[in-house]
A and B are shown apart, each in its own frame.
Chain A
């Protein structure tokens, strides 16, 4: 098989070929490293999905899988498959920057629980992916190391904050990736790149070793090109972790079984609610058209579709932009220039406090500063009850909206994002316009329930991908996969496989190939 064919295969197919001996894990890893060298390039020209590529480490991990197989060991369902890891997750053998200059070249002393589980499953970590600084943004333009570009159109954003992970999938640089979702950072990038992204129930995947953005909202999850691949990855990383006190001590829903069941295309008995408040004014026509097609398809497969009202969702954005900055201002206080990371002005003339001020003023980018300032304001004495306290009450109202809706239906649906991928630079200094990208995804972060984005076609006006957003109750993550797999198989005929098959071919970048350490 040609290398071009190999990199387009799903993770499940690659794992099966590795397990059967048709392909070696080293061969598969090398093909993806070659692809990265060919298209990833520099921020000015290439996809720039990766901040760091560890070719040597990846090939060594792959060789280990091959050796185990030769020795007759039973391999896990994703053993030998390469993965792109968001640079907010600590790795003891690679730098972890969270997209920030304040952590440039920082080498964590330990692996996150996710990293450890990936390694234990024989998954090959290719490198670390680009992101908005400390996961704050919807476009990956807030990275201190330059933007990532959308493989569908290199002049456009790949979503954010996990734009590196989504772009790596869409550019066939990796068949699997990990993202983190605080307000939509897995689902919005998936939507605008035509890939699959799942935010599990809050507490479903350990946060140990994830650099915190907003602790009560952050949730890591799987990113992939197919629904089954996402489910397989979900079951590798999910489950209770004593190192994270917010981790849920209950069995992981059978997401792989649900993905397989959904692929038979029969949704009879499933009740689907279309959220009335998530559509209409401000939504691009092509996004609404593809969303309506997807809903019609769900009906055709036997689902019973009704309209549902969630009246407090309209307050979600406001509550989110109080809770998130408040928690950010507290979490980012750890970057004090004393114990790790950047230190500026330590020349004998400045006090510790002055060094702290200089370092934070130099090391944080514009969006991080904006949110630290907002949070400092919202938490300052006299304002706490009116802002953070009030916003936490809105969370309760949103959770009650979900509860009422899920007493009538099994899942809720909406578009994932109001628009398709916008041009790089368009919203960079208009925070309110940028924040509106997460209008549909934020309610699930506030209530903590499971949600996902699945490709549902291309908008007529610009030919760019549109995502179907599916929301399920707390701990019912499996329902997302059933619906996602059903939609995927229903459209496979029209798309000739996954939606990504319609993406333009990427040409090798004009600049020199990426330097691989």
Chain B
């Protein structure tokens, strides 16, 4: 089924928020096609009446009492930040000039 073009790879890279160099786009287009060609065989087996599995034991939502408990201090949470200012994460501008 799959035949992935260079343009589609570039689109996926945009969705994944990841800059890829032109040679990476070329290389990945071929490899993704090859890998997806190999994995599409999952379509051959499972019928509609098969339920999906994500955990070997039947677990449902796990809740705890809604009570405050110790967590990271603001200082600890900011310790690994690339940039912090006034007790907050400092980030590059979010809106464009024209906005």
Contacts and interface: CB of A to CB of B under 8 A. Distances in A.
A343 B61 CA distance: 35
A373 B72 CA distance: 33
A377 B55 CA distance: 24
A322 B42 contact: yes
Interface in A381-426: 386-387, 389-397, 399
Interface stretch (A37-45, A349-357, A494-502): A349-357
Given A321-B38, A373-B9, A396-B53, A315 B82 contact: no
A319 to B, nearest CB: 5
B80 A106 contact: yes
Given A369-B20, A448-B56, A396 B51 contact: yes
A374 B35 contact: yes
B85 to A, nearest CB: 13
B8 to A, nearest CB: 8
B92 interface: yes
B91 A338 contact: yes
Interface on chain A toward B: helix, strand, loop, or mixed SS?
helix
Nearest to B4: A377
Contacts of B76: 109-110
A360 B32 contact: no
B12 A394 contact: no
Contact of A372 (B16, B52, B89): B16
Contacts of A318: 38-42
B87 interface: no
Nearest to B94: A352
A29 interface: no
Interface string A291-327: 0000000000000000000001001011101100000
Interface in B48-62: 50-57, 59, 61-62
A340 B80 contact: yes
Contacts, number: 177
Contacts of B72: 109-110
Given A246-B59, A350-B92, A312 B45 contact: yes
Interface residues of A, number: 73
A317 B41 CA distance: 10
B18 A372 contact: yes
A387 B41 CA distance: 10
Contacts of A447: 53, 56
B11 to A, nearest CB: 9
A460 to B, nearest CB: 31
Interface in A351-371: 351-358, 360-362, 364, 369-370
B57 A248 contact: yes
B93 A351 contact: yes
A358 B82 contact: no
B55 A242 contact: no
A246 to B, nearest CB: 6
Contacts of A331: none
Interface of A: 106-110, 201-203, 216, 242, 245-246, 248, 312, 315, 317-319, 321-322, 329, 333, 336-343, 346, 348, 350-358, 360-362, 364, 369-370, 372-374, 376-377, 380, 386-387, 389-397, 399, 431-432, 446-449, 474-475
Interface of B: 4, 9, 12-13, 15-21, 24, 28, 31-32, 34-36, 38-46, 50-57, 59, 61-62, 64, 72, 76-77, 79-83, 89, 91-96
14 contacts: A202-B55, A354-B92, A357-B19, A358-B19, A360-B17, A369-B28, A373-B12, A373-B18, A374-B32, A380-B15, A386-B43, A392-B53, A393-B50, A399-B53
Given A352-B92, A360-B16, A373-B13, 11 more contacts: A107-B80, A108-B80, A315-B41, A317-B38, A336-B17, A342-B82, A373-B18, A390-B42, A395-B52, A432-B38, A446-B53
